[in-house]
Amino acid sequence: MPRTRIFSGSFFEENIGYARAVVDGDWIFVSGTTGFDYRAGTISDDVVEQTRQCVANIRAAMEEAGFSLADTVRVRYLFPDPDDFEPCWPVLRESFGPAAPAATMMAARLADPRMKVEIEVTGKRQA
């Protein structure tokens, strides 16, 4: 089965040279995804809204490739401010809780100071 790449039109994908997601067989690897609304070219100042947009961006890439959030087996959350993690729990639980993936939260500075959260997902198509 050929490797497939999914692009969202993000400024960063084009300028850095990567795909939003790569599908290899039954696996999907979704790049670190931030809360930018790629169509509007905007990003909210609110971390919970950014988290919702992250999930929407991830869901769109996964669905374009024939996957769903339920196929998530691994998720990594990156927050510049670790205190922003807990307010996002309800969105994360709603989005990824049904899949109950392995998960890690890390505090790290992100590429753009407007970014308050970045989420990376690995998924496997369910048999």
Number of domains the chain is built from: 1
Q: Is 72 buried (19+), middle (13-18) or exposed (0-12) by CB count in 10 A?
A: buried
Question: What pLDDT score does 104 carry?
Answer: 98
- The span from the CA of 44 to the CA of 84, in Å, is 14
Question: What pLDDT score does 119 carry?
Answer: 98
Per-residue pLDDT of 13-57, as tens digits, reads 889 999 999 999 999 999 999 999 988 989 999 999 999 999 999
**Residue 64 domain boundaries:** 4-124
Question: Looking at per-residue confidence, does 57 or 126 come out higher?
Answer: 57
- What pTM did the predictor assign? 0.94
Domain CATH code at residue 71: 3.30.1330.40
Question: What pLDDT score does 11 carry?
Answer: 82
First to last CA, the chain: 16
Question: What pLDDT score does 12 carry?
Answer: 83
